[in-house]
Amino acid sequence: MMREVAWRLFASEFNDASLEVTGGGTERAPSYVVTPLGARVNRVFVVGVITDVENVGTDMQPMWRARVADPTGTFHVYAGQYQPEAAASLSKLKPPLFGAVVGKSRVYTPDSGTVYTSIRPETIKAVDESVRDYWILEACRSLRKRLDAVAEAQRMDPVTKEGLLKVGVKEAIAEGIVQAVQHYGKVDLSRYLAMLADGLRYLLPEYREILPGGPAPPVSSPEPEPKGSEPDADEEAVLGIIGSLDKDGRGAAWEGILEAAASQGVSKDRLEESINRLLDKGLVYEPILGRMKKI
Q: Which residues contribute to the site for other proteins (CB under 8 A)?
A: 1-8, 23-26, 29-30, 45, 47, 100, 102, 122-123, 125, 127, 130-131, 133-134, 136-138, 140-142, 144, 161-162, 170, 172, 193, 196-197, 200-201, 203-205
Q: How far is the CB of 203 from other proteins (least distance, A)?
A: 4
Query: For residues 63 and 131, which CB has a smaller minimum distance to other proteins in the complex?
Result: 131
Query: For residues 49 and 140, which CB has a smaller minimum distance to other proteins in the complex?
Result: 140
C-beta of residue 149 within 8 angstroms of C-beta of residue 164: yes
Query: For residues 42 and 276, which CB has a smaller minimum distance to other proteins in the complex?
Result: 42
Q: Which helix (H) or strand (E) holds 116?
A: strand 116-126
Q: How far is the CB of 136 from other proteins (least distance, A)?
A: 8
What is the C-alpha separation between 47 and 69, in angstroms, rounded? 8
List Cα–Cα distances, 147 to 19, 20, 104, 118, 129, in angstroms. 18, 20, 23, 23, 27
Of 200, 75, 108, nearest in space to 147 by CA: 200
Q: Give alpha helix (H) positions in 82-230.
A: 84-92, 129-154, 161-166, 171-184, 189-202
What is the C-alpha separation between 166 and 2, in angstroms, rounded? 25
Query: For residues 103 and 287, which CB has a smaller minimum distance to other proteins in the complex?
Result: 103
List Cα–Cα distances, 22 to 41, 122, 180, in angstroms. 11, 20, 14
Q: How far is the CB of 108 from other proteins (least distance, A)?
A: 24
Query: For residues 217 and 240, which CB has a smaller minimum distance to other proteins in the complex?
Result: 217
What is the C-alpha separation between 66 and 11, in angstroms, rounded? 14
Q: How far is the CB of 285 from other proteins (least distance, A)?
A: 27
Query: For residues 200 and 283, which CB has a smaller minimum distance to other proteins in the complex?
Result: 200
Residue 134 burial class via C-beta count within 10 angstroms: exposed 0-12, middle 13-18, buried 19 and up: middle
Q: What is residue 177's DSSP assignment? A: H
Query: For residues 133 and 272, which CB has a smaller minimum distance to other proteins in the complex?
Result: 133
Query: For residues 4 and 52, which CB has a smaller minimum distance to other proteins in the complex?
Result: 4
Q: How far is the CB of 291 from other proteins (least distance, A)?
A: 32
- The Cβ-side half-sphere exposure at 288, using a 13 Å CA radius, reads 13
Q: How far is the CB of 222 from other proteins (least distance, A)?
A: 18
Q: How far is the CB of 146 from other proteins (least distance, A)?
A: 11
Please tell me the total number of residues recorded for the chain in this structure: 295
258 in helix, strand or coil?
helix
What is the C-alpha separation between 26 and 4, in angstroms, rounded? 15
Q: How far is the CB of 6 from other proteins (least distance, A)?
A: 5
